[in-house]
Chain A
Amino acid sequence: DTAVSQTPKYLVTQMGNDKSIKCEQNLGHDTMYWYKQDSKKFLKIMFSYNNKELIINETVPNRFSPKSPDKAHLNLHINSLELGDSAVYFCASSQSGLPGALHFGNGTRLTVT
């Protein structure tokens, strides 16, 4: 199946812990993204990588560190988790050029207790 897949689907952890979310796409796209969706369903861009190079780095605490080992993978590591980090995190990918529509994974629901 061609898709954007992310793991885990659910992540429940305590404040202060460090956790990672992994994302892989087999669509052959050259750009990958992390988006955060809060409880009101607002979607905000966090990071974007094009050909493994960081191109978008929005105002995100430096506890969040993305890593792109190759064009098909983009991981997100979060240090010292806080209650406010609870959200759904979506990975997405796109191909440079028009129309460049985003293709999303199914999300990782992170709950920090």
Chain B
Amino acid sequence: GEDVEQSLFLSVREGDSSVINCTYTDSSSTYLYWYKQEPGAGLQLLTYIFSNMDMKQDQRLTVLLNKKDKHLSLRIADTQTGDSAIYFCAESTSGTYKYIFGTGTRLKVLA
């Protein structure tokens, strides 16, 4: 079945860049998403990328997609303490209504 994997923890210093990685197995994925979950809250959509794109930039966020290797990454530039949260990648295939979520990466930003 479909599977989405992420490393569980990442720790960075304030002002540095963070890179959160994700691998997925479903080659028919249409869209790939990044969500942020702060304590006690729901998941907030940060950005998404269509599977025929290689890169998408949105302010401090850069998403890179390597479709051949089924690898997705999220780079956060100038990481701030407010960026500390759990980050989930997810994939979906057009027309299936099914979103498969990764295991989540807990990002800790040190002041």
Contacts and interface: CB of A to CB of B under 8 A. Distances in A.
Contact of B97 (A31, A43, A104, A105): A31
B24 interface: no
Contact of B103 (A42, A45, A105): A42
A102 B48 contact: no
B109 to A, nearest CB: 18
B45 interface: yes
User: What range describes how many residues of B lie at the interface?
Assistant: 20 to 34
Contacts, number: 59
A107 B50 contact: no
User: What range describes how many residues of A lie at the interface?
Assistant: 20 to 34
Interface of B: 30-31, 33, 35, 37, 40-45, 48, 50, 86, 88, 90, 92, 94, 97-99, 101, 103-104
Given A41-B104, A43-B88, A107-B42, A101 B33 contact: yes
